[in-house]
Chains A and B, each alone.
Chain A
Amino acid sequence: GAVVSQHPSWVICKSGTSVKIECRSLDFQATTMFWYRQFPKQSLMLMATSNEGSKATYEQGVEKDKFLINHASLTLSTLTVTSAHPEDSSFYICSARDRWRGTMETQYFGPGTRLLVL
């Protein structure tokens, strides 16, 4: 159990285009999902916390108008990178917290989406 999927796993796009990444919890309900970004040889950086049915909470320095997050259901959150530029090229990873496990601790990670902006 506790499987999180991401789609797409790889995306290459031209500068200026928008890219949407989906994060789904396949066998559990996730009230909260997290979006991370990881540059090569660096640790994960939390971008935003996504709560079902409400606005996402963005970390300092993350532009909410550039990285649009929608958490419309208990199993799906989306991250849209608008007007992507080469510096947005990174590994984007989502994680989800299981609503019903009765604990706040464990986050389950998706496999990640590698974005390359040309």
Chain B
Amino acid sequence: GQNIDQPTEMTATEGAIVQINCTYQTSGFNGLFWYQQHAGEAPTFLSYNVLDGLEEKGRFSSFLSRSKGYSYLLLKELQMKDSASYLCALMDSNYQLIWGAGTKLIIKP
């Protein structure tokens, strides 16, 4: 089966950097996604990693290590609007998304 773990909640300061970790166990792997979800809204796509390494996209970067079953989302120059839940999702061998419980990120001034 599959299992995904990520912290329930994190707090960071505006302008700072925060790293949200995600660890997983799976028998089939077709990539790892990060989504952002604001309260009451649907998730929006942030990043996709299928190979090891770092993918940078503006203020957001995502890292994957398949051998370690580990990924992180790095958010730089935090803004108040970055307060949201960040969902780690694993795509399994059937190309279905298996979702983590999400990390609620609270940004303080």
Q: Which residues of A line the B interface, CB within 8 A?
A: 34, 42-46, 49, 91, 93, 104-112, 114
Q: Is the CB of A46 within 8 A of B97?
A: yes
Separation in Å of the B65 CB from the closest CB of chain A?
A: 19
Question: Chain A residues with Cβ under 8 A from B35's Cβ?
Answer: 109
Interface bits B28-42 vs A (CB < 8 Å: 1, else 0): 001101010000111
Instruction: Give Cα distance in the complex from A118 to B50, angstroms.
Output: 44
- Contact between B50 and A110 (Cβ–Cβ < 8 Å)? no
Our pick among B31, B44, B101 for the contact of A43 (Cβ within 8 Å) is B101
How distant is the Cα of A81 from the Cα of B48 in the complex, in angstroms? 32
Please judge, given known A-B contacts A43-B101, A44-B87, A49-B96, whether A105 and B31 are in contact too, CB under 8 Å. Answer: yes
Q: Return the chain B residue nearest A97 by Cβ.
A: B95
- Contact A106:B44 (CB < 8 A) given known A43-B99, A43-B101: no
- Minimum CB–CB distance from B64 to chain A (whole Å) comes to 13
A46 close to B96 (CB less than 8 A): yes
Residue of B nearest to A45 (CB): B99
Assess whether A105 is in contact with B50, with CB atoms less than 8 Å apart.
yes
Compute how far the CA of A91 lies from the CA of B39 in the bound complex, rounded to whole angstroms.
Answer: 11
User: For residue B97, which residue of chain A has the nearest CB?
Assistant: A107
Assess the A111–B41 pair: CB atoms within 8 A: yes
Q: Is residue B91 within 8 Å, beta carbon to beta carbon, of the partner chain?
A: yes
Q: CB within 8 Å of A: which of B62-109?
A: 87, 91, 95-97, 99-102
Closest to A113 in B: B42
Q: Known interface pairs A43-B102, A46-B96, A46-B97. Does A109 touch B44 (Cβ–Cβ under 8 Å)?
A: yes
Chain A to chain B: the 6 pairs with minimum beta-carbon distance, closest first: A112-B42, A109-B42, A43-B101, A43-B99, A104-B95, A44-B99
Alpha-carbon distance between A111 and B42 when the two chains are bound, in angstroms? 5
Distance in angstroms between the alpha carbons of A77 and B92 in the assembled complex: 23
Interface centre among B31, B33, B35, B45 (most CB of A within 10 A): B45
Q: Closest residue of chain B to A91, judged by CB? A: B40
Q: Does B53 sit within 8 A of A, measured CB to CB?
A: no
